[in-house]
Amino acid sequence: MNTSASTSVSEFGKDSGLVHEAVVTGRKVGASQTFWSRLAHNEDLFRRVVKEVMQMVVATQPFDPVSFIGEKWSLIPEERDLRSARLTEVDFATALWEICLNEGESSITGEEKLTRLKTSGKIRLGSTVFLGLWTDYQARKEDSVLERLFKEQKITYLDFFGDVLLNPHGNRYVLYFFRNDGVWHWISYYLGYDWNADHLSASLACESSVLEPVTS
């Protein structure tokens, strides 16, 4: 009996951390040592797997309201969801779409929606995630995360309550995307207006796996 080979198979993947978790999950769906061996020694195969896994992941981007929107626009620091601001990447396969309407309601104001989102405790995705999506869309168009959200989930609107913007007149806004005539656009929306069931707000569950938080 080749005890060294037997030990090699039984010990494979028993290291700690994410690699071990990946191996354990893989075993549940039939990924044996043969799978991992082929993945480890076939760069093209590894590249295809990475592309499939990462295609819904977006890198966040620093957001400057003055350069992006215009003079005298600013972010309101006390309204920022710092959990979102610390993210460097977001996996939109894990994102949640919030409408925050109670039974019998057809719409609520943006200010009321902001209050309900805060009460929920979920991570309100903000301006850095918004800009990451926009940058991804500009670079990848048909292969972008926004386009995949449309093709796979029929999403045509998405807003970002993790940051509240102040315009030059002192009015409060949030950023949002909408899709029209096959193209995505962005705009800011006044929190005094009504939000209805078509207005989806991007968030993450508190326990959601967030990639690489920024360390100060």
Q: Read off the pLDDT band of 201 (50, 70, 90).
A: very high
For the chain, the average pLDDT equals 87
Identity of residue 180: N
Do 110 and 191 meet the contact criterion of CB atoms below 8 Å apart? yes
Predicted confidence (pLDDT) per residue in 92-113, tens digit: 999 999 999 999 999 999 999 9
Token pair for residue 6?
């037997």
Predicted confidence (pLDDT) per residue in 3-58, tens digit: 444 444 455 545 567 788 888 888 888 888 888 888 888 887 776 665 556 578 99
Helix (H, G, I), strand (E, B) or coil at 194: strand
Give the pTM: 0.76
Token pair for residue 145?
């995360």
Sorted by where each begins, the domain ranges of the chain are 3-54, 57-204
